[in-house]
Amino acid sequence: MLKIAVVGAGHWGPNLIGNFHDHTRSEVAWVIDRSEDRLAAVRTRFPDIQTGTEARLAFEDPAVDAVAIATPTATHHELTLAALRSGKHVLVEKPLAETVEKAEEMHAVAQEVGRILMVGHVFVYNAAAQLAKQYITNQELGRVYYISMVRTNLGPIRVDVNAAFDLAAHDISLASFWLDATPISVTATGGSWINRGIEDAVFATIRYPNDVLVNLHASWLNPIKTRDIRVVGDKRMLTFDDVNTGEPLRIYDKQVDEQTAQVPFVDSFASFRMTVREGDIVVPRVPMSQPLKQECDHFLDCVENGETPMSGGPEGISVVRTLDAISRSMADRGREALVGG
Ligand SMILES: NC(=O)c1ccc[n+]([C@@H]2O[C@H](COP(=O)([O-])OP(=O)(O)OC[C@H]3O[C@@H](n4cnc5c(N)ncnc54)[C@H](O)[C@@H]3O)[C@@H](O)[C@H]2O)c1
């Protein structure tokens, strides 16, 4: 049984506590949170878990093998470095850090001390997203033209990072996973109304290799919770909505074809050459599984067997570099910013 300490028991942390607590291969040795109220809530649900307000209590405990960090983004760097330097493996929530330099240092230290560093890019552990990747990789959509991703809700409003860092981190990790590529450049605009300088809504277009565009709308200032992802290929199109747990994926047999037969009348050269085909819509069966459980399973596999995480330091850094480019482009009134530039 691996002994896990969970740091951060706010909105998301209890999901990690539950997963590692109920797991057959792990137990939760510590839950750490600065807030006594949060700890009291944890003790009510999990009376067998030790709690404390200082992360060092868990980091200095030799019985602890690994640490899961679910605190605000601005604290990830300091807590992760302290855990790694205490010899613990680390699963840290997305995004890895709020700056590229910090993200790179976290990966470098993990390498140096020979411990696992995994980032909670939970969508790459989602069974429907993994099935969608198969459609894309097997060329069943043909050549991918573009992906549009809308992730909106009313709250939670962050004060340490903007809506892109908070929400679009998921979409960037997913797009890179699907396309098996890293972004080249970004153009973005955003608006900050609630807290000065922290964008509540971000509209960004990311350019990937092979002329693939990924368009993002991330906002915590929106009346409707939307998770609307569309992948447009030249043979087929795909939609993914993880809120629709029963039928998250749809494959549309729709495309624009080259016209071969002669038509009697055309009003433009484009309509002469192109015709729209509307075929079947397939709703593939997605195996039932919990993405966060898959993520925790994978983390335990990596710790036990030294496997390389699917969402490790390099993937975490790539997402942070893209988020950094989004921030630079927004600050420059939408001018194109190179990722990593
Ligand atoms: N994977 C997902 O789908 C998902 C969903 C929500 C949040 N998250 C991520 O989880 C992290 C936490 O988000 P949240 O919504 O739970 O935030 P939150 O504000 O609800 O909770 C954070 C908790 O961390 C505690 N904390 C802050 N600094 C601390 C420190 N130095 N030591 C110990 N405890 C500390 C706070 O008291 C609070 O209880 C963020 O990185 C966020 O991006 C991921």
CATH number of domain containing 105: 3.40.50.720
Q: Is 75 in the pocket of ligand 1 (CB under 6 A)?
A: yes
Distance 7 CA to ligand 1 centre (A): 9
Q: What pLDDT is attached to residue 273?
A: 57
Distance 292 CA to ligand 1 centre (A): 15
Q: What pLDDT is attached to residue 8?
A: 98
- Residue reference for tokens 């944890």: 42
Please report, for the domain that includes residue 230, its CATH number: 3.30.360.10
On the question of a cis peptide bond just before residue 156, with omega within 30 degrees of 0, the verdict is yes
Are residues 168 and 58 part of one domain? no
Residue with CA closest to ligand 1 atom 8 = 12
From the list 9, 334, 323, the residue with the least C-alpha distance to 167 is 323
Q: Which of 7, 12, 119 to mutate to test the pocket of ligand 1 (most atoms within 8 A of CB)?
A: 12
Domain boundary residue, one of 90, 105, 123: 123
Q: What pLDDT is attached to residue 37?
A: 98
Are residues 142 and 286 part of one domain? yes
Distance 11 CA to ligand 1 centre (A): 6
Q: What pLDDT is attached to residue 341?
A: 75
Domain boundary residue, one of 72, 95, 123: 123
Distance 162 CA to ligand 1 centre (A): 15
Q: Residue type at 56? A: R
pLDDT tens figures, 211-260 = 999 999 999 999 999 999 999 999 999 999 999 988 999 999 988 876 55
Distance 14 CA to ligand 1 centre (A): 10
- H helix or E strand, kind and range, residue 5: strand 2-7
Round to whole Å and give the CA distance between 154 and 165.
16
The domain total for the chain is 2
Distance 17 CA to ligand 1 centre (A): 13
List, for the chain, all residue ranges whose pLDDT scores fall below the cut of 70. 258-274
Are residues 9 and 47 part of one domain? yes
Q: Is 33 in the pocket of ligand 1 (CB under 6 A)?
A: yes
Are residues 153 and 229 part of one domain? yes
Those residues with Cβ within 8 angstroms of residue 158's Cβ, 6 or more apart along the chain or in another chain: 72, 73, 165, 166, 198, 220
Q: Is 248 in the pocket of ligand 1 (CB under 6 A)?
A: no
Residue with CA closest to ligand 1 atom 18 = 10
Q: Which residues of 240-256 are buried (b: 16+ CB within 10 A; e: fewer)?
A: bbbeeeeebbbbbebbe
